Structure 1
Amino acid sequence: MERKSVAGSIRNKERSKKKFLDAVGKILRTKGHAALKVNGIAATAGVDKKMIYTYFGGIDGLIDEYIRSQDYWSKVTVDEIERIKPKLDDGGRSFIEEMLLSQFDYVYKSREAQKLLLWRISESRKSLRKLTDAQEENGEYIFKLLMDPHFKENSEEVRSIMAILVSGLYYLNMYAAMNGSIFCGIDVDTSKGREKIKKAISFLVNQTYEKL
């Protein structure tokens, strides 16, 4: 009986945590980050607000966990990269191409990720700073493992190209979601337009590896 009670308690805790995280996402999608308050989150989740402090240590801990669950590049952790075991003999070309294509699709499909991006560029917050630091740490691991050994003295140029590609793909999706889908004559909100962008991603990655 005691074992069942413990298992039930764990399941209840996980369900309640998920309700809180889902509530953060719902509020972020519908009302924006300014509406993320303890009382509103608890009411949306249908769980006593005291549990936010019990499970997450407070609203900052809850938001931290939510942010980590939604950001694409935060999911590309050192452990995940080692699990995937990307090919080393191509200098990371296939891995980087796949990551960029996946990022493009992920942000397009996730309203929460879009709202999170808007939040990151509109407000200074400790949890958002942590997110940026985590991204940089994961990115540095990728560069040092795959790209720096391949490009050697040209590694800084490659980092600059990657910065433009990652941020550009973020912007295209944000632009399509918020203010219109046509950019440079390409409709980023159609499958045809998105395929053109994906072909451009592959072209730019391949050109980077061939020319540098």
Structure 2
Amino acid sequence: MEEKKPKRYRRTKVDLEADIIKSAESLIKKKGFSAMLVTDLIKKARIEPPVFYNRYNNLDEFLDEFVRKYDYWFKDIISGSQFPTDDVNGYISIFKEVQKALSERSVMLELLRWEIAEGNETTVRTAMLREMHTLPLVKTYEEKFKGTGIDIAAISSLIIGGIYYLNLHRDRSLFSEIDIKKESGQKRIEDAIELLGHMIYQYNESKNLKSIIAERLKKEGISQDIIDKCIF
């Protein structure tokens, strides 16, 4: 009796798109954007070349559409953390969430690497969109620290930039003998983020307290010279 061959599963259009995207994510995490070839993607997704080229003219067009899924990744991270902008813990949570998102090999991390390595329409757009979507948050904190002498935008930029670099650099060498590929290294960075956040807020509170004390002493008739010498 002739053995019946199992029916071959035919992937739908949705299935094919999902397989292409999933394969791209896997390849990007492994090789990065710059090193991925269209032949790699076709092989990984188990499709014939016409299937790919019926959808996209070339790999650049595919990548431009692909990264649009990640144009809002910074905004999504921040929105998902549900932090209060008037609280030190909320401020700290922003940096912790970014560090967490980049701590493992991810498309977001490789997107940052690609932005630094290549200047093209896609990388410029993703970088500018990230700036655009985080600017309202920056303005919120600038208003909160207005008149304090604390440039919160510059300080926050240094922290974010440090998080970016530590994660982009981690496969090359340790940094100050910290290995953020290990749990112990991750913990040190998270603790440092928390300490920095509290230091910034405590410094601001200290300045406010000094101003209050100085104003009260002035009302009591103490000269400004003595107040400046003793308090500031």
TM-score, normalisation: structure 2: 0.68
Whole-Å separation in 2 of the counterparts to 1:89 and 1:28: 38
1:46-75 Cα deviation digits (max 9, x unpaired):
23445556656764453134334457xx32
Secondary structure of 2:103's counterpart equals helix
Letter in 2 for 1:184: S
- Pair member with larger Rg: 2
**In the alignment, is residue 117 of structure 1 matched against residue 112 of structure 2?**
yes
Deviation of the 1:160 alpha carbon? 0.9
CA contact (8 A) 2:70 2:108 kept: yes
What value does the CA root-mean-square deviation take over the aligned residues? 3.2
**In the alignment, is residue 204 of structure 1 matched against residue 199 of structure 2?**
no
TM-score, normalisation: structure 1: 0.74
Secondary structure of 1:189's counterpart equals coil
> Unmatched 5+ residue regions in structure 2?
1-10, 205-232
Secondary structure of 2:84's counterpart equals coil
Letter in 2 for 1:109: E
Whole-Å separation in 2 of the counterparts to 1:127 and 1:156: 35
Cα–Cα, structure 1 residues 57 and 210, in superposed 2: closer, same or farther, change >3 Å? farther
Q: Which has the higher helix share?
A: 1
1:87 to 80, 84, 89: 84
Identity rate of aligned residues, in percent? Answer: 20
Deviation of the 1:168 alpha carbon? 0.6
CA contact (8 A) 1:78 1:141 kept: no
1:159 to 147, 153, 166: 153
Q: Which residue of 2 aligns with 1:6?
A: none
**In the alignment, is residue 179 of structure 1 matched against residue 176 of structure 2?**
no
Cα–Cα, structure 1 residues 206 and 12, in superposed 2: closer, same or farther, change >3 Å? farther
Deviation of the 1:98 alpha carbon? 1.4
- Residues 123-142 of structure 1: pairs in structure 2 closer than 5 A: 123-142=118-137
Letter in 2 for 1:187: D
Q: Which residue of 1 aligns with 2:184?
A: 192
Letter in 2 for 1:201: I
Secondary structure of 1:152's counterpart equals coil
